[in-house]
Amino acid sequence: GAVVSQHPSRVICKSGTSVKIECRSLDFQATTMFWYRQFPKQSLMLMATSNEGSKATYEQGVEKDKFLINHASLTLSTLTVTSAHPEDSSFYICSATRDSNTEAFFGQGTRLTVV
């Protein structure tokens, strides 16, 4: 099956700094990538949808200036948490789909801890 790789798997950063999370589709071209946030023992909350070469579409309540999403190529999307604060600590997960397949492939997630 298709593989989506997310990096890093864990990151600890100081409050006020920015953190970049990468999501790569290793063996297919991902026309659409999705970014989710998951709190402990909660479901996945969609943050934004990104299509290659265009601006991301953010869900209501998600600050686009705080969570910068770039989908510069068909195999890479990045999520940058800017000026991170402890309340941004969470598990962030990306997924990718390709035109010829209806399945969504998920990355392994990134555990962000802001101290």
Partner 1 sequence: GENVEQHPSTLSVQEGDSAVIKCTYSDSASNYFPWYKQELGKGPQLIIDIRSNVGEKKDQRIAVTLNKTAKHFSLHITETQPEDSAVYFCAASKRRGSTLGRLYFGRGTQLTVWP
Q: Which residues bind partner 1 (CB under 8 A)?
A: 4, 6, 34, 41-44, 46, 49, 93, 95, 97, 99-109, 111
Per-residue CA distances from 74 to 26, 31, 57, 109 (Å): 10, 6, 17, 19
> How far out from the chain centre does Cα 26 lie?
15
Q: What is the closest distance, in whole angstroms, from the C-beta atom of residue 63 to partner 1 in the complex? A: 20
Nearer to partner 1 by Cβ, of 10 and 16: the residue is 10
The percent of the chain in helix, strand and coil, each rounded to the nearest 5, is 5, 55, 40
Which stretch of DSSP H or E encloses residue 3?
none
Q: What is the closest distance, in whole angstroms, from the C-beta atom of residue 98 to partner 1 in the complex? A: 9
Nearer to partner 1 by Cβ, of 5 and 82: the residue is 5
Nearer to partner 1 by Cβ, of 81 and 93: the residue is 93
Q: What is the closest distance, in whole angstroms, from the C-beta atom of residue 85 to partner 1 in the complex? A: 23
> Contact at 8 Å (CB) between 5 and 96?
no
